[in-house]
A and B are shown apart, each in its own frame.
Chain A
Amino acid sequence: MKTDKLVKDFRGIKCPINFAKTKLVLSGMENGDMLELYIDDGSAIKNLPGSVEKEGHKVLSREEQGDGSWCIVIEKG
């Protein structure tokens, strides 16, 4: 099965706008597609992955970047 990986940078976008934008991006993807998402430290990394999982998607990895921001990879569920 073909999977696409989309990259989005939501650093600097505050909660919960970053989650609303993530929902919109995910709604345009197919099940199984991957989203590589860059988000801020603090409330973004604390809240967003859990919120995404509650919507039925999988957070496959979360990795701190050198600058304190985070990269998370989401599989659309």
Chain B
Amino acid sequence: MKTDFTDSEVERYARHIILKDVGIEGQLKLLNSKVLIIGAGGLGSPAALYLAAAGIGKIGIADGDVVDLSNLQRQIIHTTGDIGTPKTLSAKDKMLAINPDIEVVTYNEFLNASNILDIVSNYDFIIDGSDNFATKFLINDACVLANKAFSHGGILRFIAQTMTVIPHQSACYACVFDSPPPPNSVPTCSQAGVLGTVAGVLGSIQATEAVKYIIGKGELLTDKLLIADMMSMDFDKIKFKKNPECRVCGKEGITKLSDYEQRICEV
């Protein structure tokens, strides 16, 4: 565990260290923390860049996809030269280029009920940057079972939504939405489109929640769903309560994982 700073770390993190609510103690917490980012896409890109810059000691990044030209309009961690490269490796390169002092662990696979729990268990906080409801519900279930805090995020067109979940303390994703919507009831991003900057704003908000959770300061988006309409720039918070009867985190909640029906969408 890290308890002191090198000269170059003092310089790198000076603007955190001089902040009263981060300071020496907060920066040391960040350096000793572990965050998993699921999805190296529109949301995962800004989250990974900012968390690397913030000096999160260990960052895991999971994605089974390779970089495609159509990703580059919003997935800002990847470049034209990365087309065809696994997204995890492309992301790792940029994160280490920003901050060579951190450790980046890549999981070049899509997460499912059989591998997610082991991976999630190694981290303090998880960022959901996935692009489909099946994975979002699976991340929620795994984090509830592993008792890990996470940030849910979703984007479509000009709208973003996010909530932070501290399992068994605050409402989980299933307390709010119960289960995935029926197929074709909600358009996917590849059908409907999404403004690139909307992904940037939301991924940055999710990274901010991770940092606040780790340093233990501020108010998290727990028991609240933030819905941001970036056409009107209306940011609304809707309050929720933990559902005691929730099928995932309630009294008779889940005890093991199973996969949801997968419908792929490119965020």
Interface positions of A (Cβ within 8 A of B)? 16-17, 19-21, 23-24, 27, 51, 54-55
Contacts and interface: CB of A to CB of B under 8 A. Distances in A.
- Among A19, A23, A27, A54, find the residue whose CB has the most chain B CB atoms closer than 10 A: A23
B20 A16 contact: no
Contacts of B10: 17, 20-21, 24
Contacts of A23: 17-18, 23-24
B251 interface: no
B105 interface: no
A27 to B, nearest CB: 5
State the majority secondary structure of interface residues on B. helix
3 closest A-B pairs (Cβ-Cβ)? Answer: A20-B14, A20-B17, A17-B14
A77 B14 CA distance: 21
Given A24-B5, A27-B24, 10 more contacts: A17-B10, A17-B11, A17-B14, A20-B10, A20-B11, A20-B17, A23-B23, A23-B24, A24-B10, A54-B20
A20 to B, nearest CB: 4
A17 B20 CA distance: 15
- Report whether over half of chain A's contact residues are helix, strand or loop; otherwise say mixed: helix
5 contacts: A16-B15, A19-B14, A23-B18, A24-B10, A24-B17
Nearest to B10: A20
Nearest to A51: B18
Contact of A55 (B11, B13, B15, B20): B20
Interface string B1-32: 00001000011011101101001100000000
B36 to A, nearest CB: 29
A15 B96 CA distance: 26
A20 B23 CA distance: 9
A21 B6 CA distance: 11
A24 B11 CA distance: 12
A17 B13 CA distance: 9
Contacts of B24: 23-24, 27
Contacts of B13: 20
A19 B18 contact: yes
Contacts of A21: 10
Name the residue among A24, A54, A55 with the largest chain B CB count within 10 angstroms. Answer: A24
A54 B20 CA distance: 9
B5 A16 contact: no
A51 B17 CA distance: 12
A74 B102 CA distance: 35
A47 to B, nearest CB: 10
A24 B6 CA distance: 11
Contacts of A17: 10-11, 14
B106 to A, nearest CB: 32
Contacts of A55: 20
Contacts of B18: 16, 19-20, 23, 51
